[in-house]
C-alpha cells in the first residue's frame, strides 16, 4: 500500500468516527461502543451519497445530530489548545470549539470516499472494571497491511453518562497532540483571539477551495 493511499485511507477511517450514530445504554462497554460505532458509521458512508461526495454541510448535520453524544469535545478542544484554555473566556471557548469542529470535519470530509470496503476488528480490552479511562485498540483492514487505530475514552457521570471519546491515534500520532503543537505557536504569537482568527480564516479558505458539491 503506498503512503499516499494509506494516509487517505486512515483519514477516511478517522472521519467515520464523526459519523457515529446515537448511543445505546449508558453502561455499554467501551470496546462494544467502539465496535458498534465503527460498524454503523461505515454503513452510513456506504449508504449516504452526500457523505460519500464530501458534502460538508451534510456531514456537519450528521455530526451535530449523531456524534456529539459520544465525544467529550470540550476536553478535546481544551487539550488541543493547552494552557491557554484556562485563560480563555466562555465566549472564546465556545468559538474555539466551533471552529475546531469545523476544521476537523473539513479536514476529513474529502477522504470519506476512501472508507468503503473496509473491515475491522476490536482487540481485547485491557482494563479493570472500575477504570474511568481506557484505551480501545482496533485493527482496520482494506488494501494492504492491517493498520491499528486506537481510541482513548473516559467514563462520564450524570446526564448523558457513559463512555466518551476524547482522543484517537492514527499511524502512531494522537490527534489532539498534533493540533496542540500547531495551536501553541499561534497562541504564543497572537494570543487566543489570534488562534480563533487563524482557525476562522483557515475554515473559510477550506470552504472556498472545496465548495458544496452540486446536486445531481
The per-residue pLDDT for 76 is: 94
More confident residue, 196 or 105: 196
The per-residue pLDDT for 1 is: 43
pLDDT in tens, 120-156: 899 999 999 899 999 999 988 877 777 788 999 999 8
- Long-range contact pairs involving 191-196 (C-beta distance under 8 Å, separation at least 24): 191/84, 192/81, 192/84, 192/87, 192/88, 192/92, 192/96, 193/92, 195/81, 195/84, 195/96, 196/92, 196/95, 196/96, 196/99
The per-residue pLDDT for 2 is: 45
Average the pLDDT over 189-198 and give the result.
Answer: 97
Cα–Cα distance for residue pair 3/9, rounded to 1 Å: 10
Cα–Cα distance for residue pair 58/88, rounded to 1 Å: 30
Q: Is the pLDDT of residue 85 over 80?
A: yes
Q: Is the pLDDT of residue 14 over 80?
A: no
Which residue ranges form the domains of the chain, and what is each CATH number?
3-209 (3.10.450.710)
Question: Cell for 154?
Answer: 473516559
Amino acid at each position: 500500500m503506498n503512503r499516499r493511499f494509506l494516509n487517505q485511507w486512515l483519514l477516511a477511517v478517522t472521519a467515520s468516527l464523526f459519523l457515529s450514530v446515537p448511543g445505546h445504554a449508558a453502561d455499554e462497554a467501551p470496546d462494544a461502543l467502539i465496535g458498534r460505532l465503527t460498524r454503523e458509521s461505515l454503513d452510513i458512508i456506504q449508504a449516504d451519497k452526500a457523505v460519500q461526495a464530501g458534502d460538508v454541510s451534510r456531514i456537519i448535520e450528521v455530526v451535530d445530530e449523531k456524534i456529539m453524544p459520544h465525544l467529550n469535545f470540550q476536553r478535546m478542544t481544551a487539550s488541543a489548545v493547552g494552557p491557554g484554555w484556562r485563560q480563555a473566556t466562555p465566549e472564546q471557548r465556545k468559538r474555539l470549539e466551533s471552529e475546531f469542529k469545523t476544521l476537523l470535519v473539513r479536514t476529513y470530509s474529502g477522504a470519506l470516499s476512501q472508507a468503503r470496503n473496509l473491515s475491522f476488528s476490536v482487540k481485547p480490552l485491557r482494563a479493570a472494571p472500575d477504570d474511568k479511562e481506557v484505551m480501545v485498540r482496533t485493527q482496520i483492514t482494506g488494501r494492504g497491511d492491517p493498520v491499528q487505530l486506537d481510541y482513548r475514552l473516559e467514563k462520564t457521570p450524570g446526564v448523558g453518562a457513559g463512555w466518551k471519546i476524547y482522543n484517537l491515534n492514527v499511524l502512531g500520532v494522537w490527534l489532539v497532540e498534533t493540533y496542540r503543537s500547531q495551536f501553541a505557536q499561534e497562541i504564543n504569537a497572537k494570543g487566543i483571539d489570534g488562534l480563533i482568527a487563524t482557525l476562522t480564516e483557515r475554515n473559510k479558505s477550506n470552504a472556498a477551495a472545496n465548495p458544496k458539491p452540486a446536486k445531481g
